[in-house]
Amino acid sequence: MAKFSVGLDILNTLRTWTNLLRNLTFGDNFKGFEWEGTITAGEVMKITHNLKVTPTRFVITSSKGTCLVVQSATNKATAEFFYIENTASSSAFIGKVLILP
Per-residue model confidence as pLDDT tens digits over 65-95:
788 999 999 999 999 999 999 999 999 999 9
Q: Are 87 and 69 in contact (CB under 8 A)?
A: yes
Express each pLDDT in 21-52 by its tens digit. Answer: 887 776 677 788 999 999 999 999 999 999 99
Express each pLDDT in 6-22 by its tens digit. Answer: 566 788 888 888 888 88
Q: Return the SS3 of 11.
A: helix
Residues 46-71 as b or e (16 or more Cβ within 10 Å = b) = ebebebeeebeebeebeeebebebeb
1 DSSP β-pair partners: none
